[in-house]
Amino acid sequence: MIGVLLGIAVVEMLVVHLVLVAAFGWTVAILVGVVDVAAVLYLTLLLRSFKRLPVVLTADVLMMRTGFLKSLTVPVAQIAGTGRTWDAATLKQRGVVNFALIGWPNVWLDLDPPVQHRRGTPVSAIAHKLDDPAAFHAAIAALSAAHGH
């Protein structure tokens, strides 16, 4: 999804640049072009950070990440459950962190007790959009069984 947004940003940059040159001249086109190039560079770095900073699950800790934008470390022992259904109102509740940037989340984790997020906010549930949610659920189930849950 971010890759599609990056493609749209590049096309938009080219079209807007041509229109600005025709309507306002090179000075305005260059100023707006600098902002567009910065936005494209930011999206490119974000897209690359998804591979560099993935979601990591070890025997003791789950590191939920969305590239360099968000991250939250959760002890595996505090994962109370996965896979329940949710709606838009549930995603907006206090204590729910939505790591899915653009698309609808396909993974839900309930935490008990809640984990402290930045600024001391308690997090009782995490939503995320992962490439392979079935493998993630299987790995969580295997770890939960190993921890006696």
Same domain, 88 and 124: yes
**Structural domain that includes position 139:** 56-146
Low-confidence residues of the chain: pLDDT under 70: 1, 145-149
pLDDT at 21: 81
The model's pTM: 0.78
Q: 94 and 36 in one domain?
A: no
38 and 75 together in one domain = no
Q: Do 12 and 83 fall within a single domain?
A: no
pLDDT at 147: 59
Q: For residues 40 and 67, state if they share a domain.
A: no
Q: What is the count of structural domains for the chain?
A: 2
Q: Are residues 107 and 127 located together in one domain of the fold? A: yes
What is the reported pLDDT for 52? 94
Q: What pLDDT is recorded for position 146?
A: 61
Instruction: Look at residue 1 in the predicted model and tell me its pLDDT.
Output: 67
Question: 141 and 98 in one domain?
Answer: yes
Count of Cβ atoms closer than 10 Å to residue 87 Cβ? 7
pLDDT the model gives residue 87: 85
Give the CA angle between residues 119, 89, 69 to the nearest 5°.
40
